[in-house]
Amino acid sequence: MKRHWKYTDIPDRLWRDWRWQLKNRFHNGSDISKFFPNISEESRRDFAAHVAKFNISITPYTLSLIRLDKKLNPTAVDPIWRQFKFLSPDELRGDGAYDGVHTNWELSKEMPTPILHHKYPGRALLRVVNSCHGYCSYCYLTKRTLDVSKKLRFAASPAVWERSLRYLRANPDISDVLISGGDPLLLPNDALEKILSDVAAVSSVKTIRINTRALTFNPFRVDPGLAAILKKHRVTVLEIHLAHPNEITREFDSALEVLDKGGYRPLILWRSPLLRGINDSVATLRELLLMLYARRIVPYYLFHNAPYSLGREYYGTSVKRGITLMKELRRVIPGPSFPRYTLFHPTGKQDIPLEAGGTPEFRFCRDASGKPAVKFRNWRGRSVFYPDR
């Protein structure tokens, strides 16, 4: 791949070292002029305002995927750059914008330990780390992974970890465990081995999933040691996140080859939000989903951009817009490459019916303030509202 100009002299042995990639990220404390020497004063101000409140992190590998203009600045329409863009104050406002209070997913009553989330019967989620290889500006976990103060982050101390394992053992109905974060593949192989060994030792746990962004932010993380660990513990699923076809590169394919050469490739499932200006077109989604399908990756979830997440005004679309895209998309791709279109809600995920006028169980309406909303019956049979755009 063509590298960002700042890294052209880095030897291959370093460039392909995932730890070197982490150590040399563009981050909150970086001198922006060393990465984008001719960036505008407006962008400098937006960067300063953004990093005062939120984390930013971009690996050298990911920086190299961003198209630059003649001044060596990111092009405004580049789909990789738009995922990391320093959001201006205006782009952080709007209905359903991040407010530091509301959440899309976690309810305190569903958290028997600070890292274990038990929302649905039969499955649980363990957030084993609070950091990521890179921080998307649309992150749904803003309060934990992007909050600079770190006051709301969860602690995975040894005591909390043991409490979490005791909970799994005491609830044998939980047969499926998702290892998530942040990104658990930030952990070195020995630490990940310990986590998987502990979870697999719970006799009632039959399937284990890992949720990661490493294949697109730091594909060098997928090394033979990791492949051996996934094989040893028969990890059932690797859930990966990428938003645009430009993220599927030779290095991405090489990471898949490492798993194949190791003799074991978990079922790989794809998930991404629907993001305005990045993947909200039939052409882009078709290209992305067919590329995944050709690589034996199952397109699992396309998530509607969630309210109360960072940059919803900038990245969000209406539910009806998403339905229109999905209906058009269904006609032009094979059935196995067609994902579920789903929204996040504190009471649980909800599949969106592909009916522009809604259905009796999924109705377009207005909330008490007259703003666009959706009212639907959740998986528990209770009617709930969802802020639309």
Question: Assign residue 212 a region: left if phi > 0, alpha if psi is -120 to 50, beta otherwise?
Answer: beta
As a three-state string, the secondary structure of 154-174 is CCCCHHHHHHHHHHHHHCCCC
Other C-beta atoms closer than 10 Å to the C-beta of 343 total: 23
* Helix, strand counts (H, E) of the chain: 13, 14
Which is more confident, 368 or 103? Answer: 368
Q: Which amino acid is at 69?
A: D
CA distance 25 to 258: 24
Q: Domain 108-358 carries which CATH code?
A: 3.20.20.70
Q: Is the pLDDT of residue 151 over 70?
A: no
CA distance 221 to 215: 8
**Neighbouring residues of 19: CB distance < 8 A, sequence distance ≥ 6:** none
The two structure tokens encoding residue 200: 């697999």
Regarding pTM above 0.75, the answer is yes
Average pLDDT over residues 171-196: 97
* pLDDT score recorded for residue 84: 95
Q: Is the pLDDT of residue 103 over 70?
A: yes
Spell out the alpha helix ranges (H) of the chain. Answer: 12-15, 18-23, 41-53, 60-63, 81-84, 158-170, 189-200, 214-217, 224-232, 250-261, 282-294, 312-315, 319-330
- Give the chain's radius of gyration (CA, Å): 21
Give me the residue spans of the domains in the chain. Answer: 5-79, 108-358
Q: Please, which pLDDT band fits residue 153 given cuts at 50, 70 and 90?
A: low
Which is more confident, 140 or 284? Answer: 284
Each residue of 238-293: pLDDT tens digit?
Answer: 999 999 999 999 999 999 999 999 999 999 999 999 999 999 999 999 999 999 99
CA distance 134 to 139: 10
Q: Please, which pLDDT band fits residue 150 given cuts at 50, 70 and 90?
A: low
Q: Please, which pLDDT band fits residue 173 given cuts at 50, 70 and 90?
A: very high
**Neighbouring residues of 166: CB distance < 8 A, sequence distance ≥ 6:** none
Partner residues linked to 54 by β-bridges? 147
* pLDDT score recorded for residue 129: 93
Q: Is the pLDDT of residue 152 over 60?
A: no
Q: Is the pLDDT of residue 14 over 80?
A: yes
Element (H, E) at 350: strand 350-351
Mean pLDDT of the residues in the chain: 94
By the 8 A CB rule, do 377 and 361 touch? yes
* pLDDT score recorded for residue 154: 61
Q: Please, which pLDDT band fits residue 98 given cuts at 50, 70 and 90?
A: confident
Q: Is the pLDDT of residue 42 over 70?
A: yes
